[in-house]
Chain A
Amino acid sequence: MTRSLRTRLLTRIIVATILLLTIFSLTVYLVIRSALVKQFDTSLASVARILAASVELDGDEIELEFEVRKMPEFQSAKHPTYYQLWKPDGTVVARSPLLGADDLARLEGGVDALVFGKSRMPDNRPVRAVGLKFKPRAADSDEEGHPHLTAEQTLTLVVARDPSDLMSQLRFLRWLLLTASAAVITLSLLIAAVVVRQGLRPLNSIAGEIAAISQESLTTRIGAESAPSEVVPIKDRLNDLLARLEDAFNRERRFTADVAHELRTPLAGLRSTIEVTLSRARDTAEYQTALSDCLGIVENMHIMVSNLLTLARLDAHQVTLRTEQIRLAELVNSSWRPLRDKAEQRGIAFENHIPVDLTCQSDPEHLSIVFRNLLENAAEYTNQAGQIRIAAQRTGDSLQVTFSNTGCKLTAEQVSKVLDSFWRADESRSDATVHSGLGLALVKRIITALNGAVTAQIDKPGTFTIELTLPCPRTQ
Chain B
Amino acid sequence: MRLLVIEDYRPLQQSLTKGLREAGFAVDTTRDGAEGLWYATGSEYDVIILDLMLPGIDGLEILRKLRAKGLKSHVLILTAKDTLEDRVTGLDLGADDYLVKPFAFQELLARVRALLRRRYREKNPRIKVKDLRIDLTTQRVWRGRQEIQLTPREYALLEYLAMRAGQTVSRTDIWEHLYEFSSSASSNVVDVYIGYLRRKIERPDRSRLIHTVRGRGYLLGGQS
Interface residues of A (CB under 8 A from B): 257, 260-262, 264-273, 275-277, 279-280, 290, 293-294, 296-297, 426-431, 433
In the bound complex, residues from chain B placing their C-beta under 8 Å from that of A293 are 11, 14-15
Indicate if the CB atoms of A276 and B22 lie closer than 8 Å.
yes
Taking the nearest CB of chain A, how far is it from the CB of B55, in angstroms? Answer: 4
Any chain A CB within 8 A of the CB of B143?
A: no
Residues of A contacting B: mostly: helix
Indicate if the CB atoms of A272 and B80 lie closer than 8 Å.
no
Across the interface, B10 reaches (CB within 8 A) one of A257, A294, A431, namely A431
Taking the nearest CB of chain B, how far is it from the CB of A71, in angstroms? Answer: 110
Taking the nearest CB of chain B, how far is it from the CB of A95, in angstroms? Answer: 114
**Alpha-carbon distance between A270 and B104 when the two chains are bound, in angstroms:** 11
What would 22 A/B residue contacts be, using CB atoms closer than 8 Å?
A: A264-B100, A268-B12, A268-B101, A268-B102, A268-B103, A269-B9, A269-B11, A269-B12, A269-B15, A272-B15, A272-B102, A273-B11, A273-B14, A273-B15, A275-B15, A275-B105, A290-B15, A293-B14, A296-B11, A427-B53, A429-B9, A431-B31
Render B72-107 as a binary contact track against A, CB cut-off 8 A, 1 for contact.
000000001111000000000000000011111110
Taking the nearest CB of chain A, how far is it from the CB of B94, in angstroms? Answer: 21
Q: Please tell me the size bucket of the interface on B.
A: 20 to 34
**Alpha-carbon distance between A276 and B22 when the two chains are bound, in angstroms:** 9
Q: A264-B102, A268-B12, A297-B11 are in contact. Are A428 and B53 (CB under 8 A)?
A: yes
Interface residues of B (CB under 8 A from A): 8-12, 14-16, 18-19, 22, 31, 33, 53-56, 58, 80-83, 100-106
Indicate if the CB atoms of A276 and B101 lie closer than 8 Å.
no
Indicate if the CB atoms of A426 and B101 lie closer than 8 Å.
no
In the bound complex, residues from chain B placing their C-beta under 8 Å from that of A271 are 102-105
**Alpha-carbon distance between A264 and B51 when the two chains are bound, in angstroms:** 13
Max chain B C-beta neighbours (<10 A), residue from A264, A265, A280: A265
In the bound complex, residues from chain B placing their C-beta under 8 Å from that of A279 are 19, 22, 105
Across the interface, B101 reaches (CB within 8 A) one of A257, A265, A290, namely A265
Across the interface, B22 reaches (CB within 8 A) one of A270, A273, A280, A297, namely A280
In the bound complex, residues from chain B placing their C-beta under 8 Å from that of A433 are 9
Indicate if the CB atoms of A276 and B102 lie closer than 8 Å.
no
Indicate if the CB atoms of B11 and A270 lie closer than 8 Å.
yes
